[in-house]
Structure 1
């Protein structure tokens, strides 16, 4: 898809800047309560990357963190409050919010936790009750 390109991203104010390189492991939409509440939106557009593909290039000292659970370590800019990433150590992946990398050619492939949705999206993509079986979920699909 992006042929090994590097894309720049940042928080809302630009104090924290980062790059993502190569191919994400997955892209899609998360409808879970935690993502909705954290993003203050009805759905979170995610891109999942291996940690070595994500590099903070400026403002690392401005990054704050909150761990509601050991499965999701949420990161934001302490200057503007802009959300940046969620580390998922149990998967060895980092969710870089799609909106934080504006020039990245985001191409979602799945909806996860769709049973919790507050915004139905009829786009023909697979809708999962929770997450795919290979990531520890039930692997159960739900209707659009």
Structure 2
């Protein structure tokens, strides 16, 4: 029996359903222009999960994919257009948009790409110019 916590999620119309299990590798806010355009908001709340922790349980045939860069594959429901995930193959992580897993307690720990922020958030969390060094970034932190 699997003792890891599991959380259910779905797209806007429910055609695509998924589960995530265990704990995410990271949670936070992304301020990059790409995420802002994709989410149509000033900031994107992310949860990064190991690839094996994310399972599509229904509607895989409805998932569309787009590669803006080799580092990310954005995915959405072709039935309703609802955004689902962004796969990051170089990191073996999947970004599951925090709003899609309502029973999961989102607890952000970081802001990434903060130099691109259009909405400054003063919450005491670390602010990275890009991403932390251990994830391939510069490791340069910024002031709130």
Coarse TM-score class (shorter-chain normalised): over 0.9
1:57-96 to structure 2, matched below 5 A, reads: 57-96=57-96
1:42-121 to structure 2, matched below 5 A, reads: 42-121=42-121
- 5+ residue gaps, structure 1: none
Q: Which whole-Å CA distance do the structure 2 matches of 1:84 and 1:102 have between them?
A: 13
Q: Which whole-Å CA distance do the structure 1 matches of 2:32 and 2:97 have between them?
A: 15
Q: Which whole-Å CA distance do the structure 2 matches of 1:106 and 1:20 have between them?
A: 13
Post-superposition shift, 1:4? 2.3
Which residue of the partner structure matches residue 136 of structure 1? 136
Post-superposition shift, 1:61? 0.4
- 5+ residue gaps, structure 2: none
Runs of 4+ in 1 over 2 A off after TM superposition: none
Post-superposition shift, 1:37? 0.3
Which residue of the partner structure matches residue 19 of structure 2? 19
Q: Which whole-Å CA distance do the structure 2 matches of 1:125 and 1:54 have between them?
A: 26
TM-score (norm 2): 0.97
Which residue of the partner structure matches residue 34 of structure 2? 34
